[in-house]
Structure 1
Amino acid sequence: MAKGTLLYAQSGGVTAVINATASGVIAQARARKVKVLAARNGILGALREDLVDTGLESAAAIAALAHTPGGAFGSCRYKLGPLDRDRARYERLLDVFRAHDVRWFLYNGGNDSADTAWKVSQLAAEFGYPLSCIGVPKTIDNDLAVTDNSPGFGSAAKYTAVSVREAALDVQAMAETSTRVFVYEAMGRHAGWLAAAAGLAGQSPDQAPQVILFPERAYDEAAFLARVDKVVKKVGWCVVVASEGIRDKDGRFVADAGGGTDAFGHTQLGGVAAQLAARVKDTLGYKVHWTVPDYLQRSARHVASRTDWEQALAVGKAAVEYALKDMNAVMPAIVRTSAAPYRWKIEPAPLHKVANHEKTMPAGFIRKDGFGITAKARDYLQPLIRGEAPLPWDRDGLPRYVTLKNVAVKKKLPRWEG
């Protein structure tokens, strides 16, 4: 039995399959006879010494995590600053690690989480504390560098493509006497991957979504309205998919919720669909409906991609193996080894090449007119939404999910007042 404790934490917005990663981590650690603690509400739980003992959960409950959405241990949006500015917090983390003999720290999140894991590894090395820090990939925005794609994205992409295709059938049926234009707002602050995934719903420019707006391209209202008008006159109706983060030529967000910034310094967005719908109605006179699926995009476990689910499990298991091999400051990355047939594997990637880097849509994935995806994008995206992830259903017609006991371990340090 390896000596020491493994600490696992979830960070940022959760996904339909982040608990599959947690399940992979815990099951693999148990197989290696390693004790696993989980931080309640991400890095905040580690700072507060609010840790739960996963060893008190049954094997069946851990297995059920693999098909349960949300974040089983709670997550948070909380960013630690540079080492020199936030040194007290980082040292507090090391104090907690020492108190509970944590030798392996697995942080399951996106760019900022990779940065935190990297910085913690640096401080541990400075203090001579034996600690392996592993970043575990997760994001529905698909904006993590180095990895081919991010666990969580494939399921959100599948939900988006399915929802847009189904909504398009509704709009088409009602267009003659009712709604002519439907606007769907997809998550994506700087990267248009989810909006692009909507393009899988149709096979030609006349099929929905006939208009996609990407944050990688400056929003041109005149061109947008002209395109919508042209589609409606030709097809009879139009479905628009817009990333929440589209900006005008001056770099201003088209939708700014006016709520300041979050813990990561991100402007609060929301309402781009409503704004676009209003402009279409006021300028073109068409009846418009719009929707903001928001959290539904990342929580829709009932339509999760099997590819995504399998990759989420795989990165969790690989993270444990990397940790137990005393690998440090790395992340299990997905490598696409074959496009047709689709094949992939997991390889370690240095955290410093992931941390705070952002992967946006390649120019070759966006059509020249800026309103749709190319064949290259379709070839990249399509394998990621394939298959249906296993999900048990109860007799009441609802999915069978699990809630863990999450029994806290006894605290050994003074209360954190940070």
Structure 2
Amino acid sequence: MPTGTLLYAQSGGVTAVINATAAAVIQAARARKVPVLAARNGILGALREELIDTAALPASTVRALGQTPGGAFGSCRVKLKSLEQDRARYERLLEVLRAHDVRWFLYNGGNDSADTALKVSQLAAEFGYPLTCVGVPKTVDNDLAVTDCCPGFGSAAKYTAVSVREAALDVAAMAETSTKVFVYEAMGRHAGWLAAAAGLAGNGPDEAPHLILFPERPFDEADFFARVKAVVERVGYCVVVASEGIRTPDGRFVADAGGGQDAFGHTQLGGVASHLAGRVKDALGYKVHWTLPDYLQRSARHLASRTDLEQAQAVGRKAVEYALKGMNAVMPVIVRTSDSPYRWKVEPAPLQAIANHEKTMPAEFIREDGYGITDAARRYLQPLIRGEAPPLYGRDGLPRYARADQAPLPRKLPEWAG
């Protein structure tokens, strides 16, 4: 096996189990006597040469990272453009990798991160630098192509389903004299996977959520009002789950926050639940409450799915294995081999098939009327939220989460002016 250093970096929005992947990477590399550097704040840290030597982290801290939410080394929303457009930044990155003898680069993120890992592998090949690049899957949106599901999604889905079920009990208790409509906003810009997960909270038309709004279906306000009214008159109250990315029939986001676009070119969204609540109150006169869980959906490690945790750890271990075998420009993906009993395995897939592709909800997962999930969706979703993996708690009653606060290594290159 060639000698050198492995560089691990986190990208995009973090999850309840991304640190479990990080811990698995460090543990697998240590078992093979391979030193691991971590980039502070993702690709930005690599460009700035802000690299953390994980050898200084005790084994107990690395284990504790496996039950800690957030991003232990920091993440970022920085997208590198094409090799031609961002040539200077790619070459700077390659300089940093050379300076620290990095021979394996693991980038833990979603679609855009897979694209970056692919481009770095192409640049290294162009310059004749021996580098193996592996994308590591992560996203609560569950929108990565090829893989059956994404580490991070199962825990967010479990949080969503549990939260909707619990909130629905609250609303039911108060509906006679108070709240008639409750609106829950789920993450999901173009893909309604988390909104769909809310459907696991109940069974049948009279159990919450009564209406689910998917970004895959155009939002018809008049039809929505009619359905809310019908549910309230039949059940006594109505629980609505709305994906943040629902659009009007002409393609406009219902919740466009007017904040422009981020580094990935994504429109800033926000407030679909509050918007719908206001419109329902004005149109139907019901008392309405709404909630925006936002970061709570992806940081709720206390309610993590055991399946999700095991998959997050498995892709981390496989990423190291693939890298050390010289399997360049691949990603360890989850392959489902059986629904009942649920069985899965990890296999390599080319980054070319994943980068910048997006997996939306299959049509057969959305109920014919467009406001709920089908049995096929339940068969797919239910195993992903199965099992509990609670963190250890301290005497103060709070989870014992770990921190990986380390000073970066001394720079070997001039400070980056980019």
Query: Residue 395 of structure 2 corresponds to which residue in structure 1?
Result: 395
- Asked if residue 99 in structure 1 is aligned to residue 99 in structure 2, the reply is yes
Q: Deviations over 1:355-403 (max 9, x none)?
A: 0000000000000000000000000000000001141011111111011
Supply the distance in 1 between the matched residues of 2:258 and 2:139 (Cα, whole angstroms).
Answer: 24
TM-score normalised per structure 2: 0.99
For the residues of structure 1 that align with 2:288 and 2:134, how far apart are their CA atoms? 47
Other-structure match for 1:286: 286
- The separation in 2 between residues aligned to 1:205 and 1:104, in whole angstroms, is 51
Output aligned runs, 1:292-331, within 5 Å: 292-331=292-331
Matches within 5 A, 1:34-183: 34-183=34-183
Match of 2:260 in 1: 260
Query: Which runs of no fewer than 5 residues in structure 2 stay unpaired?
Result: none
CA-CA distance at 1:407 after TM superposition: 2.7
Structure 2 CA distance for aligned equivalents of residues 2 and 158 of structure 1: 42
Displacement, 1:408? 1.1
Alpha-carbon displacement from aligned partner over 1:194-243 (angstroms, at most 9, x marks no partner): 00000000011110000000000000001111110000000000000000
- Count the aligned residue pairs: 418
Corresponding residue of 1:336 = 336
Q: Tell whether the 8 Å contact from 2:256 to 2:267 is kept in structure 1 after alignment.
A: yes
Instruction: Confirm or deny: 8 A CA contact 1:110 1:138 kept in the other structure.
Output: yes
Instruction: Name the SS of the counterpart of 1:383 in structure 2.
Output: helix
Unaligned runs of at least 5 residues, structure 1: none
CA shift in 2, pair 1:390/1:292, >3 Å: closer
The reply to whether residue 383 of structure 1 matches residue 391 of structure 2 is: no
Contact map agreement 2:301 2:390 (CA 8 A) in 1: no
Distance between the aligned counterparts of 1:241 and 1:390, measured in 2? 26
**Alpha-carbon displacement from aligned partner over 1:134-172 (angstroms, at most 9, x marks no partner):** 000000000000000000000000000000000000000
CA distance in 2, matches of 1:335, 1:405: 35
SS in 1 for 2:267: coil
In 2, Cα distance between equivalents of 1:405 and 1:199:
39
User: In structure 2, what is the Cα distance between the partners aligned to 1:126 and 1:337?
Assistant: 38
Q: Which amino acid aligns with 2:152?
A: G
8 Å CA contact retained: 2:114, 2:355 = yes
Deviates further, 383-392 or 57-66: 383-392
| Correspondence for 1:351 | 351
In structure 2, distance between residues paired with 1:398 and 1:360: 37
Distance in structure 2 (CA, Å) of the matches to 1:180 and 1:136? 44
State the 4+ residue runs in structure 1 displaced beyond 6 angstroms: none
Displacement of 1:346 after TM fit?
Answer: 0.3
| 2:411 partner amino acid | K
SS at match of 1:290: strand
Query: Take 1:365 and 1:205, find their aligned partners in 2: how far apart are those partners?
Result: 16
2:169 match: secondary structure: helix
The one-letter code matched in structure 2 to 1:260 is: G
Q: Give TM-score scaled by structure 1 length.
A: 0.99
Residue identity over aligned pairs, in percent, reads 78
Q: Does 1:200 align with 2:172?
A: no
1:309-366 CA distance string (max 9 Å, x none)? 0000000000000000001000000000111100000000000100000000000000
Give the aligned partner of residue 236 of structure 1: 236
Structure 2 distance, partners of 1:53, 1:390, is 29
SS at match of 2:234: helix
Q: Secondary structure at the match of 1:268?
A: strand
Indicate the residue corresponding to 2:31 in structure 1: 31
